[in-house]
Chains A and B, each alone.
Chain A
Amino acid sequence: GEDVEQSLFLSVREGDSSVINCTYTDSSSTYLYWYKQEPGAGLQLLTYIFSNMDMKQDQRLTVLLNKKDKHLSLRIADTQTGDSAIYFCAESTSSSNTGKLIFGQGTTLQVKP
């Protein structure tokens, strides 16, 4: 079945790196996504990685994918207070041809000044 798990809470100091982890169960995952949700705002796509890639870097964001262990991580370099939000990992799988997303329960990132 499809299941995505995340740790619930992470607290870091401003300027440190943050690493948010995610595990998934469906081996047919094709795309894996990271979304950001701020209070009162919609989900914002931060970045994504295709399942045949190991790493993707986009400015302060680095995504690492370990397909063998079905583990995905998001590293935010030089974390700022504006990065405080809930981060969701999500997958879409080849078993579904609709592109529907399966989300984790979200990791709350708290950035202390």
Chain B
Amino acid sequence: GAGVSQTPSNKVTEKGKYVELRCDPISGHTALYWYRQSLGQGPEFLIYFQGTGAADDSGLPNDRFFAVRPEGSVSTLKIQRTERGDSAVYLCASSLSGRYNEQFFGPGTRLTVL
């Protein structure tokens, strides 16, 4: 079956603009995670969804970042008033039910803020 997919694969935007990054998890996976990977670093946790609800958003860096998962499947990460420091690869992962289940990662969206 299909793995986790993310669109777009690359996004270039200007400082101050709004962006949306999309994640399609593996069908049937109720848990969905967003991570951010800066150059030369490991991924850092942003937010976790169990079904439609954000069960843990403790990793979101500030209130410019927001994520939704309205139907418990596709998720969108939204970044307002982008800053150059937001440039990174944004990774999405899904797992069958969350804790103790393997997380399957998508290929990521590379965001560049000019």
Q: Which residues of A pack against B, CB within 8 Å?
A: 4, 30-31, 35, 40-45, 48, 88, 90, 92, 96-106
B 50-81 contacts with A by CB, 8 A:
50, 55-56, 59
Report which of B45, B48, B101, B107 forms a contact with A102, defined as CB distance below 8 A. B45
In the complex where A98-B98, A102-B45, A103-B44 touch, is A42 in contact with B107 (Cβ < 8 A)? yes
In the complex where A92-B99, A96-B56 touch, is A43 in contact with B41 (Cβ < 8 A)? no
Taking CB atoms, residues of chain A closer than 8 Å to B106 are: 42
A–B Cβ pairs within 8 angstroms, 17 of them: A42-B3, A42-B107, A43-B43, A43-B91, A88-B42, A90-B42, A92-B99, A98-B48, A98-B50, A98-B55, A99-B95, A101-B33, A101-B35, A101-B103, A103-B42, A105-B40, A106-B41
* Number of A-B residue pairs having CB atoms within 8 Å of each other in the complex: 67
B101 contacts A99, C-beta separation under 8 Å: yes
In the complex where A42-B4, A99-B103 touch, is A4 in contact with B98 (Cβ < 8 A)? no
Taking CB atoms, residues of chain B closer than 8 Å to A105 are: 40-42
Q: Which 4 A-B pairs have the closest CB atoms?
A: A103-B42, A99-B99, A43-B105, A42-B105
Q: Is B14 an interface residue (CB 8 A)?
A: no
Taking CB atoms, residues of chain A closer than 8 Å to B25 are: none
Inter-chain CA distance A105–B59, complex, in Å, is: 17
Taking CB atoms, residues of chain B closer than 8 Å to A106 are: 40-42
A45 contacts B45, C-beta separation under 8 Å: no
